[in-house]
Amino acid sequence: MEPESLQRNAFDLTSCVAVLGLTVVLYIVVSHTLCAQKTKAYSLPPSPPSEPLLGHYRVIPSDAAFKRYAEWAKEYKTDVLFFQTFGTKWVVLNSLEAATELLEKRGAKYADRPRFVMFEEMGWSPTLTWLRWGPKYQLHRRVLQPPFTKSKVSHYTALQRREALACCKAMIDNPKDWLRAVRRFSVAIVLKIAYGLEVEGIHSPWIQMAQDTANAVGKSGAPASSIMDRFPATRYLPDWLPFMERLRYARTWRPAIESLTRVPFEASLKTMASEADNDSFVHAQMRIRNTNYINKGPNHFDLEDIKGAAATIVIAGNDTTMATLMLFVLYLMQNSEAQRKAQGEIDRVVGHDRLPDWEDIPKLEYTNLILQETYRMNPLSPLGIPHASVAEDIYKGMFIPKGTVVYPNVWAMNHDESVYADPFRFWPERYLSKEQGGNDEPFPVGNFGFGRRCVTYSKGPESSCQSLTSICIGRHLAENSLLIVLAIMLATLDIDWPLAEDGKPTPFEPEWSFRGQAIVLPFESSIRSRGARSKALLDAELQTVTRHCT
């Protein structure tokens, strides 16, 4: 390039950055002034000191921010904290009381989501989880919710049990590769439900595809917290600039998101003609679409919507299940007493002549307590998926401006010492009554989100939500998957610390990632069959269900 043109490019960039800087300053001054006028009567919630222009941008740690928020809440003696950066305002709700009051009782005011600019940059198609409040959101929720209601998920139980048996068999046959078995279980269920596609074995390419997407989402940082989300114009800056590492991340992982959205969808469409009995989400939606087309009716849910919604099922459903299963293995390995107690319960309820089935699940009280304690110990989305307010609000005399992003600090609520004694201890008995040797503590809260992003509003000055549904549409599906696989794991496997060469268990501290989701990183474990009898049962039952499962 000519020196003159180089100079011109450098000048263009400098002026571009200068104009952008000026815009940021103007934006901040105007929004501060407007906010100050509104808050004359009420003050904003407490917040830690911020920096000029950058606000709280550099004050919030990128790793495990939820822990810092919990500390600030104690320091400032408040359950609501306020922050702002580049004109974006956000509050963190650190108590169950605040989250229930704002996100549930006043849910209509907090039904929106912020705009997820970083996720847009990552190439998502319309995805319910990230959609803002509005007709598109309502349409997606109306289409996606019905197949996952508490009664409808019974449709998937045969598939879930078959995959649970296959998972445990793969863990026993190839214990070093137990993570792949767990990933296969998590992917196989949602891939079949969304697209009608089968995962063949633990080396299926679908597993790698889902793994890549999970990596992309899991380490992308708390949703709506990047510089692009705070100040969308920065998405057009070159990604080598300082502060733009999240833009670089988004662009690096874009192909993974695009593949998972496109490739299984196309594979599913190819089977439309040959699989008339395929009742997957994509086939069902395509059939509706074709019928509307033939009858010359409108098709509001277009191809991009079907594609995006199917990908939502896989992306929202696979990694959450996988991460919870990894936690089961970890906590059972670390707490052998709890493991033995749960195995005792399985033996008592199910006996030794068969493996756990759906009719046993309601009777497995201690197994359910292990699930609850796993949820509490490590909420996968420690700051939930943020909501956004559609109107200004006053809470305990504190002013919450319209358009504020709202994070429930689910981790803080589930580690509140005033509710949970010794909150960092894995103790499933804590939920039992005092007479039963427990501590009468409530089940964990908020792991599946708060409130209701309502489907319809009632009219009137105090608008309220009409649809009282739990925010995560996949909760019932996920709980069924987790309970059946946990029960079969307890019936067929012994989980222990990895063994050294001399055969002795070697305890270690696992590593975690707290960037975005809170997940335990891959770790070693010693997994063995509980005995020849349970192994024979596993082989026999797997053969039977594989023959019968559709």
Residues of this chain that bind ligand HEM (CB under 6 A): 128-129, 141, 144, 148, 312-313, 316-317, 320-321, 324, 380-381, 384-385, 447-450, 453, 471-474, 477-478
- 3-class state of residue 417 by DSSP: coil
CA 138 to CA 319: how far, in whole Å?
25
Measured from the CB of residue 30, what is the shortest distance to ligand HEM in angstroms?
Answer: 30
Q: Which residue has the tokens 């400032």?
A: 76
CB of 297 to ligand HEM, least distance (A): 26
74's tokens: 């104690």
CB of 206 to ligand HEM, least distance (A): 16
SS3 assignment, position 91? strand
Q: What is the DSSP string of 445-499?
A: --TT-SS---S-B--SSS--BS----S-TTHHHHHHHHHHHHHHHHHHEEEEPPB
| Smallest distance, ligand HEM to C-beta of residue 377, A | 13
* 410 versus 537: smaller Cβ distance to ligand HEM: 410
> Which contiguous run of DSSP H or E holds residue 394?
strand 393-395
| CB nearer ligand HEM, residue 99 or residue 355 | 99
Radius of gyration (Cα) for the chain, nearest Å? 25
Using alpha carbons only, what angle is made at residue 429 by residues 157 and 450, rounded to the nearest 5 degrees? 60
CB of 369 to ligand HEM, least distance (A): 16
CA–CA dist 260, 310 (Å, integer): 10
Q: Which residue, 313 or 355, has its beta carbon nearer to ligand HEM?
A: 313
**Nearer to ligand HEM (CB atom), residue 95 or residue 447:** 447
Nearer to ligand HEM, 129 or 278 (CB): 129
Q: Which two tokens stand for residue 106?
A: 């006043």
Query: In whole angstroms, what is the distance from residue 86 CA to residue 26 CA?
Result: 10
Residue 472, annotated ligand binder? yes
- How many helices (H) and strands (E) the chain has is answered by 17, 10
User: Which residues share a beta bridge with 465?
Assistant: 457
Side chain identity at residue 6, one-letter code = L
C-beta of 133 vs 497, nearer to ligand HEM: 133
Tokens matching residue 291: 């019928």
Three-state DSSP state, 83: strand
Structure tokens at 194: 């969304």
Minimum CB distance to ligand HEM smaller for 35 or for 158: 158
H or E element that contains 405: strand 405-408
Q: How far is the CB of 417 from ligand HEM (least distance, A)?
A: 23
For the bound state, the minimum distance from the C-beta of residue 286 to ligand HEM, rounded and expressed in Å, comes to 19
Nearer to ligand HEM, 172 or 369 (CB): 369
**Rounded to the nearest 10 degrees, what angle do helices 205-218 and 245-270 cross at?**
150
Report how far residue 56's alpha carbon sits from residue 53's, in angstroms, rounded to the nearest whole number: 9
Residues 353-362 as b/e (b if ≥16 CB within 10 A, e otherwise) read eebbeeebbe
The whole-angstrom separation of Cα 190 and Cα 184 is: 10
Characterize 29-66 residue by residue with b for buried, 16 or more Cβ atoms within 10 angstroms of its Cβ, and e for exposed.
Answer: eebeeebeeeeeeeebbebbebeeebbbbebbeeebbb
> Nearest approach, Cβ of 5 to ligand HEM (angstroms)?
48
> By the 8 A CB rule, do 409 and 70 touch?
yes
Output DSSP code: residue 239: T
111 vs 355 by CB, closer to ligand HEM: 111
Report the residue number, 156 or 231, with the smaller CB distance to ligand HEM. Answer: 156
In 32-176 the beta strands, taken as DSSP E runs, fall at 80-85, 88-93
- Give me the least distance between CB of 99 and ligand HEM, in Å please: 9
Q: Specify which residues 112 forms β-bridges with.
A: 388
Q: Which is nearer to ligand HEM, 190 or 537 (CB)?
A: 190
CB of 144 to ligand HEM, least distance (A): 6
**Residue 268 Cβ, how far from ligand HEM at the closest point, in Å?**
16
Binding residue numbers for heme: 472
Binding residue numbers: 472
